[in-house]
Amino acid sequence: MIEEVTGHTFKEELQRRILDRAGMKNTGVVEHNPILENRAAGYTRLATGEFVNAPLQDQSYAKGAGGMYSTVDDLYRWDQALYDDTILSSKSRELMFTSYLKNSGYGWGIGAYVKNGVEGRGKFAYGFGGTGGFASFMARFLDDQYFIVGLGNMRPIPQGQVGNKIWNTILGFDEEPPPPPVSESLYRKLLNEGIKEAVAEYRELKEIKNTPNVPSESDINSTAFYFLESHRIEEAITICRFNLVLHPNSAIAYARLGEAYTKRGDKQHAIENYEKALEIDPKMSTATRALKQLINEN
């Protein structure tokens, strides 16, 4: 839309209208060729607590929705420029930070915060972002001009939890450090001792009220995906089978196991699991396409 209206590239308009005006010298649009000094590499934290290199992906297509790089200092300059007319007029800023649909402004979540014990004392705007190997969050506390920003070259991270702890530190609240995620010990047990032992521990954890970070079906499925992306196929298969013991009617879990067997080169087991996924959910298009391709290859 920007390019259609202005006749210039997104990069050119970004530079002229925002980066130059705010003095942001370490921010720009991701491009493949230029070498950026101190550019961070992305990592994935597996459910076991291990770190692996995140899959390489070209983010240049994403433009402002995940195709930019920056620094904490530059984002602070941007934050400060939004308190006067450096970038936007007062009318535009009012529109940007007004809550419209489901507590959303123009690109921001909008909420109210408590300070000095007073509910809803001030307005804050917040946003979260993430792509392969990277995560970010920011919050602007408009009535006090506090700005919290976090940039991480690791996924997943609990962005909201980290932001809340920083905010509580600003307010002077002391908090106990969180316990290590139970998922880490659970997955270590799964991969070191077997599915039966891990299932027993999982069910025991589910019976204890308020146990944090007990992985859901979706979490386990995502973990299998991360292992597949790291080319650790056998471990991914174990995690998928674990998920199916816990959730035997999950079409997604069967489809993920089919994907794992496909990557192993075991077409017969891949076909069987995709067929089971489609028995549960006949409309699962990804399983339909994968199964069709496997049958055609045979």
Looking at the structure, tell me whether residues 153 and 14 fall in a common domain: yes
Same domain, 248 and 128: no
Is 185 contained in some domain?
no
Residue that is last in its domain, among 171, 191, 207: 171
Q: Do the domain assignments include residue 81?
A: yes
- Domain count across the chain: 2
Cα–Cα dist 19/78, whole Å: 8
- C-alpha distances (whole Å) from 54 to each of 41, 42, 148, 230, 271 are 8, 5, 26, 8, 29
Mark whether 44 and 136 lie in a shared domain.
Answer: yes
Q: Which range marks the domain in which residue 14 is found?
A: 2-171
166 and 239 housed in the same domain:
no
H-helix segments, the chain: 2-6, 10-14, 20-22, 72-81, 90-96, 159-171, 182-193, 195-207, 217-229, 233-246, 251-264, 267-280, 285-297
End residue of a domain, out of 107, 139, 171 = 171
pTM: 0.71
One digit per residue, pLDDT tens: the chain, 298 residues? 999 999 999 999 999 999 999 999 999 998 878 888 888 999 988 877 888 888 777 788 888 888 899 999 999 999 999 999 999 999 999 999 999 988 999 989 999 887 666 665 788 999 988 888 899 999 999 988 999 999 999 887 878 888 888 888 887 777 676 666 778 889 989 999 999 999 999 998 888 766 766 888 988 998 898 888 888 899 999 999 999 999 999 999 999 999 999 999 999 999 999 999 999 999 999 999 999 999 887 6
